[in-house]
Amino acid sequence: MSLEIKVPAVGESITEVTIGQWFKNSGDYVEMDEVICELESDKATFELTAEAAGVLTTKAEAGDTLEIGAVICEIDTNASEGDAAPAEERKEESKSAEKASTGGGKTGEVKDMVVPTVGESITEVTLATWLKEDGDFVELDEIIAEVDSDKATFELPAEAQGILRHVAAEGDTLEIGGMICKIEVVEGEAPSESGSESTAETTPSSNGDSYAAGHASPAAAKILAEKGIDAKNVKGTGKDGRITKEDAEKAQKSAPQPAAPQASKAPAKETAPEAPKVAGERNTKREKMTSLRKTISKRLVAAKNETAMLTTFNEVNMKPIMDLRKQYKEMFKEKHNVNLGFMSFFTKAVCVALQEWPAVNAQIDGNELVYHDFCDVSIAVSAPKGLVVPVIRNAEALSFDQIEKEVVRLATKARDGKLTIEEMTGGTFTITNGGIFGSMMSTPIINQPQSAILGMHNIVERPMAVNGEVKILPMMYVALSYDHRIIDGRESVSFLVRVKQLLEDPARLLLGV
| Residues involved in catalysis | 484, 488
- Using CA atoms, how far apart are residues 254 and 186, in angstroms rounded to an integer? 46
What is the secondary structure of 204-255 as a DSSP string? Answer: ---GGGSSSTTPBPHHHHHHHHHHT--GGGS---SGGG-B-HHHHHH--PPP
- Using CA atoms, how far apart are residues 436 and 255, in angstroms rounded to an integer? 50
DSSP state of 512: T
8 Å CB contact between 76 and 55: yes
Q: Helices marked H in 58-173 — which ranges?
A: 87-102
- Using CA atoms, how far apart are residues 146 and 375, in angstroms rounded to an integer? 33
8 Å CB contact between 392 and 430: no
8 Å CB contact between 183 and 159: yes
What interhelical angle do 342-356 and 400-415 show, nearest 10?
110
Mention every residue, 6+ apart, whose C-beta is less than 8 A from residue 294: 150
8 Å CB contact between 361 and 371: yes
8 Å CB contact between 79 and 54: yes
8 Å CB contact between 22 and 39: no
Residue 409 CB coordination number (10 Å): 14
- Using CA atoms, how far apart are residues 466 and 506, in angstroms rounded to an integer? 19
Q: In angstroms, how far is the first alpha carbon of the chain from the final one?
A: 96
Residue (of 388, 377, 385, 371) closest to 426 by Cα position: 377
